[in-house]
C-alpha cells in the first residue's frame, strides 16, 4: 500500500531527474526483496516500476515530438543516452570515480556528509528509545529500522548509478553536486523518519496522533533549512545566493575581465564542477559562451581554438599549459590571454 501511494511521486521523479529513474528502479527491487506475501510483493514492485516507466516513456515521446534536440543533451532521460554515457567511460575513469565516491562518504569534513549519516542515526536512536520505553511496538520499530537502512542503501546506490549512467565523465569524476544530493536525503530522513516515528509511537493523548508528528517534522526541517541557508527564497523573487558567485566575482575583479565576451577557462590543473560552475560563471560574466578545458591529456591547440573565444583564462594551470605558453613566447605565469594578442603573436611567428 505504501508503494502504491509513493508511485505517483516516483513517476514524477522519473520524468524530471535522472536520479529519480534509478531511485524508482531500485525501489522496485527493494520491494521484491522484502518479506511478505509473494502477491503483495509483486504488486508493490509493479507499482514502483510500472507508473514511472510509463510516464518516462510518454515523456520521452513528448520531448521527441516537440523538441527532438532534448534527447541529445548530456543529461537526457533516455536509455540510449545512459548507454552512451557508460560506454564513453574507461575502466580507469570508473575506478577513479568509485575511489572518490567511497572516500566522500567517510570524509566528515563536509557538513552535508555529517547530516547524511547523522539524520538516520538520530532517527534510529529515537525509534530505539520509543521501543525500549514501551511506546512503540517491536514490529513497528523493526520496520522503521529496516526502512532506514534500506533507504540509505537505496539512495546511495541510486546516486552512484546517476553518476555512472547519466553524467559525462568530467562531472562524474568531480562528484558534481554531491553535497546537494546528500543534503536532500538528510532532509527527507529528518522530516519523514521523524514523522513516521512519532506517528507509530503509542501516544498518551489522542490529539498527539494528529498534530505531534507534523509539528515535530516541520520544526526539524525548518531548523535544518535555517542552519544551511535562510528562508529568503520562500518570499523573495529577487533573492540570489552570492556564496556560489563569489569565487567567479573575485576572478572577474582580479583580472579585470569584461562581461559579454566568449571565455575558455583552462582548469586542467585544478578541475572544477564543470556543470554547476559553468552556469554560475556564465551568469557572472554575462555570456552565453564559457567553457572549461579540464581532465584532458594535452593542452588545447591555440592555433585553432583561439578563433572560438575572446579570452583564454588559465585558472588551473599545469605543466602542459606552462609549456604551451612558453612555446608561443608568452610568460608561463600568464593568467589570461586575449586571443587577439595571440593572433598578433601568431602572425609574428609566421613572418619570422
CA 337 to chain centre: 32
The verdict on pTM exceeding 0.85 is no
Residue 208 grid coordinates: 498527539
- Rounded Cα distance between 309 and 184, Å, is 37
Evaluate whether 93 touches 169 at the Cβ level (below 8 Å): yes
- Rounded Cα distance between 249 and 135, Å, is 54
Evaluate whether 96 touches 173 at the Cβ level (below 8 Å): yes
Q: pLDDT tens for residues 69-126? A: 666 666 666 777 788 888 889 999 999 999 999 999 988 888 888 888 888 888 888 8
Task: Report the half-sphere exposure of 344 (CA within 13 A, side-chain side).
Answer: 6
Evaluate whether 21 touches 77 at the Cβ level (below 8 Å): yes
Q: Residues of 201-211 as b/e, b for ≥16 C-beta within 10 angstroms?
A: beeeeeeeeee
Q: Could you give the angle at the alpha carbon of 123 between the alpha carbons of 118 and 125, nearest 5°?
A: 95
Spell out the per-residue pLDDT of the chain, length 352, in tens: 666 667 777 777 777 766 667 667 766 666 665 545 556 666 766 777 788 888 888 887 887 777 666 666 666 667 777 888 888 899 999 999 999 999 999 888 888 888 888 888 888 888 888 888 887 788 878 877 887 888 788 888 888 988 998 888 888 888 888 887 887 777 667 666 666 666 665 555 555 555 665 666 666 666 666 665 556 656 655 455 566 788 899 999 999 999 999 999 998 888 887 777 888 899 889 998 899 988 777 778 877 787 889 999 999 888 888 888 888 888 889 899 888 777 776 666 555 5
Q: pLDDT tens for residues 215-240? A: 666 666 666 666 655 566 566 554 55
Amino acid at each position: 500500500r505504501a508503494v502504491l501511494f509513493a508511485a505517483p511521486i516516483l513517476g514524477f521523479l522519473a520524468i524530471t531527474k535522472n536520479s529519480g529513474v534509478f531511485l524508482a528502479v531500485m525501489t522496485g527491487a527493494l520491494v521484491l526483496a522484502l518479506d511478505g506475501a509473494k502477491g503483495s510483493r509483486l504488486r508493490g514492485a509493479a507499482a514502483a516500476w510500472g507508473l514511472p516507466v510509463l510516464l518516462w516513456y510518454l515523456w520521452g515521446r513528448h520531448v521527441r515530438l516537440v523538441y527532438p534536440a532534448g534527447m541529445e543533451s548530456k543529461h537526457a532521460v533516455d536509455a540510449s543516452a545512459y548507454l552512451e554515457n557508460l560506454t564513453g567511460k574507461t575502466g580507469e575513469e570508473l575506478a577513479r570515480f568509485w575511489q572518490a565516491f567511497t572516500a566522500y562518504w567517510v570524509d566528515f569534513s563536509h557538513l552535508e556528509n555529517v547530516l547524511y549519516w547523522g539524520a538516520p542515526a538520530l532517527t534510529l536512536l529515537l525509534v530505539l528509545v520509543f521501543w525500549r520505553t514501551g511506546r512503540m511496538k517491536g514490529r513497528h520499530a523493526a520496520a522503521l529500522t529496516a526502512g532506514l537502512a534500506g533507504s540509505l542503501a537505496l539512495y546511495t546506490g541510486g546516486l552512484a548509478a546517476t553518476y555512472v549512467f547519466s553524467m559525462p565523465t568530467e562531472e562524474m569524476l568531480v562528484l558534481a553536486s554531491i553535497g546537494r544530493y546528500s543534503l536532500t536525503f538528510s532532509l527527507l530522513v529528518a522530516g519523514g523518519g521523524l514523522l513516521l516515528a512519532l506517528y507509530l509511537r503509542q501516544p498518551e493523548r489522542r490529539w498527539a496522533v494528529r498534530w505531534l508528528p507534523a509539528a515535530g517534522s516541520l520544526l526539524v526541517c525548518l531548523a535544518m533549512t535555517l542552519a544551511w541557508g535562510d528562508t529568503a527564497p520562500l518570499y523573495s523573487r529577487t533573492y540570489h545566493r552570492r556564496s556560489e558567485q563569489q569565487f567567479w566575482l573575485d576572478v572577474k575583479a582580479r583580472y579585470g575581465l569584461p562581461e559579454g565576451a566568449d571565455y575558455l577557462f583552462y582548469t586542467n590543473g585544478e578541475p572544477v564542477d564543470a556543470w554547476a560552475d559553468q552556469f554560475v560563471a556564465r551568469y557572472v560574466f554575462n555570456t552565453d559562451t564559457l567553457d572549461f578545458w579540464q581532465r584532458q591529456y594535452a593542452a588545447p591547440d591555440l592555433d585553432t581554438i583561439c578563433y572560438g573565444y575572446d579570452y583564454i583564462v588559465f585558472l588551473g594551470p599545469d605543466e602542459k599549459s606552462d609549456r604551451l605558453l612558453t612555446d608561443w613566447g608568452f610568460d608561463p605565469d600568464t593568467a589570461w590571454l586575449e586571443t587577439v594578442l595571440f593572433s598578433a603573436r601568431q602572425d609574428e611567428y609566421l613572418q619570422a
